[in-house]
Amino acid sequence: MANWQKINSTTQRGERIVSSYNNSSATQLWHVYGTYSSAKARAYQDCVDLCNSVNGYDLRITGACSNFFSVGFIFVKDGIKCLAYITHCGDYYVPLEEAKPSDALNDEEWFKDFEKRYNALDPVTKEHLAKACPHITSREQAEGIMQLSEVFNILFKLEKGTN
C-alpha cells in the first residue's frame, strides 16, 4: 500500500473510479469472462490477497477487456473509508469520507466507559464480539456493536437462567 497513488473523489478521474465501482456487481472472474487464463486467475487471486492484507471488503471487478481487468474494494486508511482501485498500470485509492474528530476511538472518557461496559459482558459474548468485529474503526461502529453485544449478553443470561 506504500506506493498507492491517492486520487481525490471530487476529480473527474475519482468520480469515474467510484462510479465504475458502484455500477459493478461482478465479484468473480467468471462474471466477466466466459473462460480465462491461469494468469488472469493468479492476478485475480493477488487482488483478493491484497484486499485481505488491508482488511478490505466488497471486492468487485470494475472493468475488463480481453487482456486486463481492474478491481476495486473498500478499506479503511487512517480512519477514513477508502476505495482501492487496482489496475495493471498501478494501485490507487480514493478517500470516500473524511474522518470526524468526534468519531475518534481515542477519546479517553468514552473509551473508559466502553471498557467498563465491555468488561461487564460474559466471556462467551466477549469471545463472539472479538471474532465478529476485529476491524472497528469508529466510535459509531463500536457503539453499535456494543449495544448488540449487551443485548446478546442479556439474552445469553436469560437462556442460562441467570441475572
Q: How far from the centroid of its chain's Cα atoms is residue 149's Cα?
A: 21
Do 91 and 105 sit in the same domain of this protein? no
CB 59 within 8 A of CB 71: yes
| Cell of residue 158, nine digits | 436469560
Whole-number Å distance between alpha carbons of 83 and 91? 11
pLDDT at 26 over 90: yes
- 95, 123, 143: which is the final residue of a domain? 95
pLDDT digits (tens, 9 = 90+) for 99-120: 454 444 556 666 677 677 777 7
Name the percent of the chain lying above pLDDT 90.
Answer: 47
Mean pLDDT throughout 40-53? 94
Do 90 and 11 sit in the same domain of this protein? yes
CB 108 within 8 A of CB 60: no
Mean pLDDT throughout 25-40? 92
- pLDDT, position 17: 94
Do 80 and 145 sit in the same domain of this protein? no
Whole-number Å distance between alpha carbons of 27 and 37? 17
> Of the ranges 49-53, 94-98, 142-146, which one carries the lowest mean pLDDT score?
142-146
pLDDT digits (tens, 9 = 90+) for 48-80: 999 999 999 999 999 999 889 999 999 988 888
Do 123 and 138 sit in the same domain of this protein? yes
> What is the residue range of 148's domain?
101-160
pLDDT bucket at 154, cuts 50 / 70 / 90: confident
- pLDDT, position 83: 95
The residue with greater pLDDT, 130 or 29, is 29
Total structural domains in the chain? 2
Do 91 and 109 sit in the same domain of this protein? no
pLDDT at 35 over 80: yes
Do 69 and 112 sit in the same domain of this protein? no
- 42, 74, 95: which is the final residue of a domain? 95
Do 17 and 88 sit in the same domain of this protein? yes
